Amino acid sequence: MNTARQLLKQKNFMFKLGLIICVAWILAAILAPVLVPYHPITHQDMAGRFQPPSTQHWFGTDSLGRDVFSRVLYGSRISITAGVITVLISFAVGILFGGISGYVGGVVDDIMMRFSEMVQSFPPLILAMVIAAALGPNISNSIFAMAIIWWPNYARLTRSIVISVKENDYVTASRILGASHLRILYREILPNSVGSMAVMATLDLGNAILMFSGLSFLGLGVQPPMAEWGAMVSDGVLTFNYWWISTFPGLAIFSVAIGANFIGDGLRDYLDPRMRGRA
């Protein structure tokens, strides 16, 4: 809690802006059913399709006469949830994998790291496309595909931190005092790795949302008629004249990604004061 207060006290405009953007989107996602003026899927008005933005339809209407504003708001529920789940899974798998690999060391470490390198050596987007295409395009499969790409990053980061921390005197002291491996990992090593991991996770949240919407854009993620930002952008591909159909969902993706990047940068500055105002 103290850390959070110190973070907010900093004169970091970008960080605060990022926080505001992300909190606003999270609120929008939670309150979407209350906020939307029209139902995002069932409200179709064929007579009123392709309407430009107006007071009735703030973001206009799409090819089926659905309200783009309502769909963008609802889309936040899918995109943000998918991004968060992807990062959480990768985080959990990575911290476990990297923690064991770094703590045990030796042959086990070698084998585990070669395995993670094997996954990383594969071009990420192709891997995601293949997995999503093979399992069938839907939300959970594309989250699964992204988690497979992402976890090695966390595993390698955790491993490097664990290796540098486990040689410290206080860890040795703890071991001599008879602490179990699990206790050492949990009480001594984990608290020291969480900071850098948090920065990586926040920065990754933006990337995860970008990639998730990219997969949906390619038709490998969320399927119609569900309201998802990437899929909505692809709705506008063939209808240049109706710019609002793809512009607003695109702006939504952009704003979340940039918000997450601002927060990640702010956290990094905070944890590494040498970099303050530089990166």
Partner 1 sequence: MFRYLIRRLLLMVVLLLGVSVMVFLISHMVPSNPVAANLSQTAMNDPEIVAAYEAKWGLDKPLHEQYIVYMSNMLRGDFGTSIRTGRPVLQDLAQYFPATLELSIFAMIIAIVLGVGFGILSAIFQNKPADQILRAISVSGVSLPSFWFALLVMSVFCGKLKWFPSGGRIDPRIFNPTGGTGLYVLDAISWGDWEMLANSLSHLILPAMVLGFFTMGLITRQTRSNLLEAMSMDYIRTARSKGMKESRVVVGHALNNALIPVITVSGMGFCNLLGGMVFVEKIFSWPGIGQYAYLSATTLDFPAICGVSLLIAVTYVVVNLLIDILYGVIDPRIRYQ
Which one, 162 or 211, has the nearer CB to partner 1?
211
Which one, 188 or 235, has the nearer CB to partner 1?
235
Binding of partner 1 at residue 233 (CB under 8 A)? yes
Binding of partner 1 at residue 110 (CB under 8 A)? no
Token pair in block for residue 184: 């050492």
Binding of partner 1 at residue 108 (CB under 8 A)? no
H/E stretch holding 176 reads: helix 169-176
- To partner 1, the closest distance from the beta carbon of 222 in angstroms equals 14
- To partner 1, the closest distance from the beta carbon of 212 in angstroms equals 10
Among 24, 93, 96, 119, binds partner 1 (CB under 8 A): 119
The residue ranges that bind partner 1 (CB under 8 A) are 14, 114, 117-119, 121-127, 129-131, 133-136, 206, 210, 213-214, 217-220, 230, 233-234, 236-237, 240-241, 243, 246-247, 249-250, 253-254, 257-258, 260-262, 265, 275, 277-279
